Amino acid sequence: MKYTNEIRVYYADTDSYGVVWHGAYLRWLEAARVEYTDRVLGIDLKKLMENGILLPLVELNIKYKQSAKLDDRLILETEIEEMRPSAIVFKQTLKNKDTGVVNIVGTVTCVAVDTEKNKMFRRLPEIFTKAFDKVLSAV
């Protein structure tokens, strides 16, 4: 299941040439993964943290295809590409809303960490597998 959000490119997102600064993409990707986890999976990351579980990013791969520019209207699609025993791999695609041109394609791998032991869970906690199963059954 995909989660889609719209982004407008503001001056603060660009360099002096009006081209989106590469770090702005990272902020947008992170925000979309948080929204996906909350709205699609039904998992509140703050409550998860209060219960001793973190979901840090451990791998990030971005292919920059076409620069976005000042005042562009963009669509960011986020979905789970793969659910591994100990990790979740998100696929994220950012494209221009008006032209459909793809700006970036990214994959992000996150793992669950036990804050008490400061170690990665060997298997994702049940809250993730149940939420993922629920999403799959709705498709």
Q: Rounded to 5 degrees, what are φ and ψ at 37?
A: -60, -40
DSSP 19: B
Count Cβ atoms below 10 Å from residue 101 Cβ, excluding itself. 12
Active site residues per annotation? 15
C-alpha distances out from residue 6 to 1, 59, 81, Å: 17, 24, 20
